[in-house]
Structure 1
Amino acid sequence: MQKQQAVKALMTMMLVVLLSCAGIALPYPILAPLFINEVSPLTTFAGIHPKLLLGMLLAIYPLGVLVGSSVIGAASDIYGRKKVLMISLICAMFGYLLSAFAIVIENYPLFFVMRFITGLCEGNVSIAKAVALDLSKVLDKTRSFSLINATTYAGWLIGPLVGGFLQPYGTELAFYVAAVSLALASFFVFIFLNHQHETKAPVSFSWSNLLIKQNSIGLLKNPSIKRFFMVYLLVTLGLNAFYDFYPLWLAESFSFTPPDIGSITALLTAFMVTTSAIVVTPFKRRFGLLTGIYIGLSFLALMLFLHLIYDAKTVWFGYPLIGVAIALFNGLLPIYISEQHQDEQQGRLMGLLSTGFSLSNVVISILGSFIAVISTLWAIILGAILIVCSVILLFFITKANHEPLNVSQ
């Protein structure tokens, strides 16, 4: 593949990731205030505590992503990146349309099911990351991966900001706009993505082959991958404890409104975008992969512990630094895992990491919702503790492998 073609494929995936993640993030600042401040059949379903209903919604979406990620990345290795990406985007679009309908009729069970279905179809970021890795023979791997991450964060910047300001015009509007963004993403994939990936084999479609033999979970039979997966799982448990519960914590502690949550989320992700696009590559050259990962994770844990002393003013200074920490480790840890297992299919490996992220989201959403009934703050502090545990585990794994700290492949 020529460099010009590689750049075109990467730019197309960046645009798709931007639109897709913006669509995913649009409803993010809306759900917590909806379940705290409004009384309706949607927020009081079956007499269940609103925080538990919210926790169930926070859990069911990543559960869908978990199931989808375990097969979407692997499916793209077998059936082609473009075909699988198109199908997943279109199905997610219809899921958002039905989610909006569920809000309009205030039907919690339908909304719950649609959150699962949209999650099921949105494990497609693993395909974008696999494309970035496919292009590593032509383009710098860390740079390509960092740009994909930057556009992911940009989507999370634009989505909550737009969603927060759309909320006064109706909660369902954010879901309609999300559907439109995914329709645009699928259009750009169809028109512009001409990246040719060498599929594993010209096999006919088979659900049993995909779900049983080729899913990403099968990679855990490799002891090395299993150990690094445990590190990644601990990291994402801690990260998702923050992601899932900071909107609720801000609403409870400082009476943040949806536009407030959208604004601080935009600030957080703006620093994630900037760090990923500009800082990660030279940071890796300066410190190496392992040291960079340790710095990013340790800094993130520290900033989460500071929730114990944040107030309504200092939180606006702390959250941008959280964004920096997230971008640093997230730009380096998947690259490190990939380079340790270069012989594995990268779509399948990235699918496994997406599966781990989603699994952690399910677990922490359920566990954290029970903790949040007592104190939302302690759900976030639990996240900080889990990240510290991930650093300790990574240290022992790399020490056993005699891995130098200045690894900088």
Structure 2
Amino acid sequence: MNHLLLLTAACLLALLSTVGASLPYPILPPLFASGAANGLNAFMDLPPKLLFGIALAINPVGLLIGATLLGPLSDRYGRRPLLLGTAFGAAAGHALTAFALVQESYPLFIVARFATGLLEGNGSICRALIAEKFTGAERTRGLSLVNGAFHLGWLVGPMLAGLTLGFGIVVPFAAAIVALVLAGVLAALALPREPASLETSSLWQVARHRHALNLLRHGEPRTLFFIQLAGFCGVAAFYEFYPLWLVEEGQYDAARIALINMAMCGIMTAASVVAGRMMGQCTGGESLRMAGWFAWGIALAVACVAVGNLWLGLAAITLFGIPNAFFNATVQPWAAERFAEHGQGAVMGLMSTTFCLATILMALVGAVLVLIDTRLVLAVGAAASLWAGWRLHGWRRELAPALGTIR
């Protein structure tokens, strides 16, 4: 197997999964917060900000289900068929999303975003491929590159929207469709055909009994789940609501939001590459110690945005990606090594599921809190990441006998 081609395909599919999630981010805030009535923000005469929060949450709901099921299913039925099916299916989901926006149909938009998120939950399969085919420092670097691709998607999606939206609201989604089809072709070339599965259970039985959340039956994966859930709440609050904060605090439009996002994601992508090299030798208690510090770095960045000062917030938004990239580069390889016996698809599926749960939770909580003040959502997220860092340091001390001597 050509490992370089495999890594390229995994990175491209990871990139496009977050492109799909982030593509509407610069498009939606002006539609819901500009004050001009349309079929999307006037649905059933509900508050536009509430509709905005629901629109943000529904894609992660699909991602949640996809991440929970697709990784473990790929452990049983193979990475190749599931990656190809989800890539081409997500392309169809983008087409339906564009149609819903043209028709200004809020219900159809919600359905389309849910279906697209469901299929783009294949990121856990991409991570499982790398965790399975690489070992040691190469695994850390490979996962960091895949993480960098995920982060880059948060740049490419909004940038694509900002640069092409002037040609029509359908154009950004058309570009994403073409890219997904090409990525599917590359994956077909990169991934070898796998032996036919000997699984005799039905698809429903496998999905029901072998989903990623089954790992929560085990003590250590369950502890990591709750720690990451808190840490990711800070990340999700930031991702979902800093564009709205920019609209309210600085009257930013879609193009200017996209430019800020480009700066932030460019730094985050570069940080992921650097983190893969720097953190490759971290093991055991050292990994948890560093992860705790990086969680606190995330909390600090989100809190600086919550303060409400435009220039401080812009600096924090731009630099947010550094602690976020290092946090993932530290925790994911540690989990892949420590929990490998459960299957890499399930392990990476649980980590993707955790992020999706945090995204849904903060979108729903935020839909209520923004009715009071958008900064309140960011403050809650910062507090959650602060707790995650504190808990990681405590867990490190609890695991000291198993992980070796710690300072």
TM-score w.r.t. length of structure 2: 0.93
2:45 match: 47
Q: Does 1:268 align with 2:261?
A: no
2:379 match: 381
d(CA) in 1 for partners of 2:277 and 2:180?
30
Partner residue of 2:67 out of 69, 72, 87: 69
Partner residue of 1:244 out of 240, 243, 255: 240
Q: Which stretch of the first structure deviates more once superposed, 305-314 or 345-354?
A: 305-314
1:302 match: 300
Alignment map for 1:9-28 (pairs within 5 Å): 9-28=6-25
1:168 match: 166
- Displacement of 1:10 in angstroms is 1.3
d(CA) in 2 for partners of 1:329 and 1:138?
18
Give the 3 Å change call, closer, same or farther, for CA 19–383 of structure 1 in structure 2: same
Deviations 1:222-279 (A, max 9, x none): 1211111111111111210111101101111101110111111111111111111124
TM-score w.r.t. length of structure 1: 0.92
Partner residue of 1:31 out of 28, 34, 38: 28
Answer whether contact 2:268 2:321 (CA < 8 A) is retained: yes
- Displacement of 1:389 in angstroms is 1.2
- Displacement of 1:23 in angstroms is 3.6
- Displacement of 1:115 in angstroms is 0.9
Give the 3 Å change call, closer, same or farther, for CA 138–398 of structure 1 in structure 2: closer
Give the 3 Å change call, closer, same or farther, for CA 393–306 of structure 1 in structure 2: same
Q: Which stretch of the first structure deviates more once superposed, 367-376 or 315-324?
A: 315-324
Q: Which stretch of the first structure deviates more once superposed, 282-291 or 138-147?
A: 282-291
- Displacement of 1:193 in angstroms is 2.4
1:282 match: 278
Partner residue of 1:312 out of 280, 295, 310: 310
d(CA) in 2 for partners of 1:281 and 1:48?
49
1:222 match: 218
d(CA) in 2 for partners of 1:118 and 1:132?
24
Q: Identity percentage over the alignment?
A: 31
Unaligned stretches of 5+ residues in structure 2: none
d(CA) in 2 for partners of 1:192 and 1:347?
19
Answer whether contact 1:9 1:195 (CA < 8 A) is retained: no
d(CA) in 2 for partners of 1:260 and 1:378?
23
d(CA) in 2 for partners of 1:349 and 1:173?
36
CA RMSD of aligned residues (A): 2.2
Q: Which stretch of the first structure deviates more once superposed, 15-24 or 64-73?
A: 15-24
- Displacement of 1:217 in angstroms is 1.2
- Displacement of 1:372 in angstroms is 0.7
**Counterpart amino acid of 2:10?**
M
1:402 match: 400
Unaligned stretches of 5+ residues in structure 1: none
Alignment map for 1:73-112 (pairs within 5 Å): 73-112=71-110
- Displacement of 1:362 in angstroms is 1.0
Q: What SS does the corresponding residue of 1:70 show, helix, strand or coil?
A: helix
Alignment map for 1:130-279 (pairs within 5 Å): 130-137=128-135, 140-194=138-192, 202-204=198-200, 206-279=202-275
Partner residue of 2:348 out of 321, 345, 350: 350
Residues matched between the structures, number: 403
Answer whether contact 1:289 1:406 (CA < 8 A) is retained: no
Deviations 1:184-220 (A, max 9, x none): 2212112232386x89x62146222222111111111
Answer whether contact 2:293 2:389 (CA < 8 A) is retained: no
Partner residue of 1:360 out of 358, 361, 371: 358
- Displacement of 1:405 in angstroms is 9.1
Q: Which stretch of the first structure deviates more once superposed, 246-255 or 146-155?
A: 146-155
Q: What SS does the corresponding residue of 1:28 show, helix, strand or coil?
A: coil
d(CA) in 1 for partners of 2:136 and 2:390?
35
- Displacement of 1:312 in angstroms is 3.5
Deviations 1:155-182 (A, max 9, x none): 2212211111222333333222222222
Answer whether contact 2:294 2:389 (CA < 8 A) is retained: no
Give the 3 Å change call, closer, same or farther, for CA 292–280 of structure 1 in structure 2: farther
Answer whether contact 2:124 2:348 (CA < 8 A) is retained: yes
Answer whether contact 1:291 1:406 (CA < 8 A) is retained: no
Give the 3 Å change call, closer, same or farther, for CA 210–356 of structure 1 in structure 2: same
Q: What SS does the corresponding residue of 1:124 show, helix, strand or coil?
A: helix
**Counterpart amino acid of 2:11?**
M
Answer whether contact 1:20 1:185 (CA < 8 A) is retained: no
- Displacement of 1:145 in angstroms is 0.6
Answer whether contact 1:284 1:292 (CA < 8 A) is retained: no
Q: Which stretch of the first structure deviates more once superposed, 317-326 or 347-356?
A: 317-326
Deviations 1:311-342 (A, max 9, x none): 43343432232111111101111222222212
1:327 match: 325
**Counterpart amino acid of 1:368?**
G
**Counterpart amino acid of 2:142?**
S
Give the 3 Å change call, closer, same or farther, for CA 255–202 of structure 1 in structure 2: same
Give the 3 Å change call, closer, same or farther, for CA 298–137 of structure 1 in structure 2: closer
1:7 match: 4
Give the 3 Å change call, closer, same or farther, for CA 45–240 of structure 1 in structure 2: same
Q: Which stretch of the first structure deviates more once superposed, 86-95 or 390-399?
A: 390-399
Q: What SS does the corresponding residue of 1:123 show, helix, strand or coil?
A: helix
d(CA) in 2 for partners of 1:310 and 1:285?
39
d(CA) in 1 for partners of 2:7 and 2:137?
9
- Displacement of 1:284 in angstroms is 5.3
Give the 3 Å change call, closer, same or farther, for CA 134–35 of structure 1 in structure 2: same
Give the 3 Å change call, closer, same or farther, for CA 76–268 of structure 1 in structure 2: same
